[in-house]
Amino acid sequence: MEKYRFLLSGSGGQGIITMAILLAEAAVIYEGLTAVQSQVYGPEARGGATRSDVIISDAPILFPKVTQPGILVTLNQSSFVKYGNLLRPGGLLLTDSQLVRTSEDLDVRHVSLPLHETVVRELGSAQSLNICTLGALIALTKVVRPESAEKVLASRFPKAVESNRKALSLGLELANNVRDAL
Amino acid sequence: MEKYRFLLSGSGGQGIITMAILLAEAAVIYEGLTAVQSQVYGPEARGGATRSDVIISDAPILFPKVTQPGILVTLNQSSFVKYGNLLRPGGLLLTDSQLVRTSEDLDVRHVSLPLHETVVRELGSAQSLNICTLGALIALTKVVRPESAEKVLASRFPKAVESNRKALSLGLELANNVRDAL
């Protein structure tokens, strides 16, 4: 399999690190893959962008930091400004259509989805934005099966099984609707 | 300052990753330091040991994985068996006195504390074992101030401020009682 290099980013309260851990655990525990998940905190951690890296592969991973991601998620404007230029040409950029404005001339596959708007409307708050985004990410990359993410969610958050399943499937649906256009 | 290299380990449900993130965030947000925090998941993640690495420094950190930790925490037997020999000679080993049995001839500074027993007795469950361990780790290494850990805890878990403060101070006390003997 190819090596998947994710850079996930957004603002402090959006649950970026949780999303990264869930993705890594789904790959390792339920898909038999190898994963590395890391946070590099510098002075910028005190600013508006949280970043978490995940590498998933079927072979051992020697260097855990992502220098040039193949898949970039940015859930707020400052993370897009900061990390947008790291994405490799032809890579996949996933942004929230309400929270991030991008320029038009990106040499990438750009998917802009109303993730925030949808979770707020369907679930009553933005708390599950990260889970919804995870669903979209899984639909777009197929790096793990949706069931694997559901199992990790159920095991980590046993009190929120239903709402997390709903958030995940909202993201899966949103992304499946656009995937064929990529 | 010296570079602090932590390897934190234990079993799956003990909150090892949360402890690592809290330590890194306390250092970065409230002490102005740089930190890297990572999880390397291999096939062993499906076994009995969870591992999380944290490096804290006042300079940029280039390689995020800890190969030879200066400080090793093991909160269950299988993590001690697995990672015990990685600790550098003269390094600091923190173990739970009830959950981990070590051999006598370790060439390290070994601190064995009744962390599990104390949180269960004082707080009624083992859920805060990781926070109590964080308190002990801070007392032993002085890498961050207790107030910085308190602030991160309050900001991350606003609904559990009092119990987390209590768990943290239990760990601080346990470790301060033995620190002078090191």
pLDDT score recorded for residue B182? 62
**Which residues from chain A sit within 8 angstroms of residue B41, using beta carbons?**
24-25, 27-28, 34-37
Q: Does B28 contact A38 at a Cβ distance shorter than 8 Å? A: no
Quickly list DSSP for A39-88: EEE-GGGGTT-EEEEEEEESS--S--S-SS-SEEEE-SHHHHHHHGGGSP
Quickly list DSSP for chain B: -PPEEEEEEE-GGG-HHHHHHHHHHHHHHHH--EEEEEEEE-GGGGTT-EEEEEEEESS--S--S-SS-SEEEE-SHHHHHHHGGGSPTT-EEEEETTT----S--SSEEEEE-HHHHHHHHHSSGGGHHHHHHHHHHHHH-SS-HHHHHHHHHHH-GGGHHHHHHHHHHHHHHHHHHHTT-
Give the residue numbers spanning the domain of A165. 4-179
**Which residues from chain B sit within 8 angstroms of residue A46, using beta carbons?**
28-29
* B22 to chain A, closest Cα gap in Å: 12
Question: Using CA atoms, how far apart are residues B153 and B156, in angstroms rounded to an integer?
Answer: 5
Greatest distance between any 2 Cα atoms in chain A: 44
Angle A146-A7-A58 (CA atoms, 0-180°, nearest 5)?
55
Q: pLDDT digit string (tens) for A129-163?
A: 999 999 999 999 999 999 999 999 999 899 999 99
- Contacts of residue B56, defined as CB under 8 A and 6 or more positions apart, other chains included, come to B3, B4, B6, B23, B24, B27, B33, B34, B35, B143, B144
Which amino acid appears at position A152 of this protein? V
Angle A178-A23-A150 (CA atoms, 0-180°, nearest 5)?
80
Number of structural domains chain B divides into: 1
Phi-psi region of B15 (alpha: psi -120 to 50; beta: other; left: phi over 0): left
Closest by Cβ to B24, choosing from A39, A46, A65: A39
* A90 DSSP assignment: T
Six-digit token string for A100 = 């991030």
Q: Which residue of B has its CA nearest to A40?
A: B36
Q: Give chain A's radius of gyration (CA, Å).
A: 15
Q: Does B39 contact A43 at a Cβ distance shorter than 8 Å? A: no
**Which residues from chain B sit within 8 angstroms of residue A40, using beta carbons?**
36, 61, 64
Q: Does A45 contact B64 at a Cβ distance shorter than 8 Å? A: no
Which of the four pLDDT bands, split at 50, 70 and 90, describes residue B43? low
SS3 A89: coil
What's the start-to-end Cα distance of chain A, in Å?
Answer: 21
**Which residues from chain B sit within 8 angstroms of residue A47, using beta carbons?**
none
Q: Which residue in B137, B155, B157 sits closest to B145, CA to CA?
A: B137
Alpha helices in A86-145 (DSSP H): 115-123, 129-141
* B19 to chain A, closest Cα gap in Å: 13
Best residue of B21, B25, B40, B157 to probe chain A, by most A CBs closer than 10 Å: B40
Q: Is A60 on the interface with B (CB under 8 A)?
A: yes
Q: Count Cβ–Cβ pairs < 8 Å, chain A vs chain B.
A: 68
Q: Which residue of B has its CA nearest to A57?
A: B42
Six-digit token string for A2 = 């190819």
Q: Does B39 contact A37 at a Cβ distance shorter than 8 Å? A: yes
pLDDT score recorded for residue A132? 98
Q: Is B52 on the interface with A (CB under 8 A)?
A: no
**Which residues from chain B sit within 8 angstroms of residue A43, using beta carbons?**
28, 32, 34
Question: Using CA atoms, how far apart are residues B117 and A113, in angstroms rounded to an integer?
Answer: 49
pLDDT score recorded for residue A1? 78
pLDDT score recorded for residue A181? 62
pLDDT of B179 strictly over 90: no
Lowest mean pLDDT among A81-95, A154-168, B60-74, B79-93: B60-74
* Phi (first) and psi of residue A175, to 5 degrees: -75, -35
Q: pLDDT digit string (tens) for B118-177?
A: 999 999 999 999 999 999 999 999 999 999 999 999 998 999 999 999 999 999 999 999
Q: Which residue of B has its CA nearest to A31?
A: B43
Which of the four pLDDT bands, split at 50, 70 and 90, describes residue A60? confident
Q: Looking at residue B14, which CATH number applies to its domain?
A: 3.40.920.10
Closest by Cβ to B28, choosing from A35, A36, A41: A41
